[in-house]
Amino acid sequence: MYDSREKAIRDQQWALNASRNEGIAEGEIKGEIKGEIKGEIKGEIKGEIRLIRRLEEILQLPTSNESTLAGKSLEELQLITVTLRSKIRSRNI
């Protein structure tokens, strides 16, 4: 009877440790994925900011402050880019 109880305790402890390790691994994977996504978005934002500033130079507009642009979302930056590109197209017609 004592051995059975000891085995049950060890089995329960093993299951708890396995669950804990699985949770830790899952958390690490989620963290890595979030970090990769944030890194990609930051890279896209930096690229979009460079493009906006270059388009402004082409149009001979005052270049936007990089820190001001950095405070905008990727979608907002893309909208600015579309607007500037359309100005360049309409200017060349």
Supply 34's token pair: 């979030």
Supply 75's token pair: 């979608």
Q: Tens of pLDDT along 16-34?
A: 988 898 989 898 888 888 8
Instruction: Name the domain count of the chain.
Output: 1
Distance of CA 81 to the CA centre of its chain: 20
The structure's pTM equals: 0.65
Q: Tens of pLDDT along 31-66?
A: 888 888 888 888 999 999 999 999 999 999 999 998
Structural domain boundaries, residue 23: 2-92
Helices vs. strands in the chain: H and E counts, helices first: 3, 0
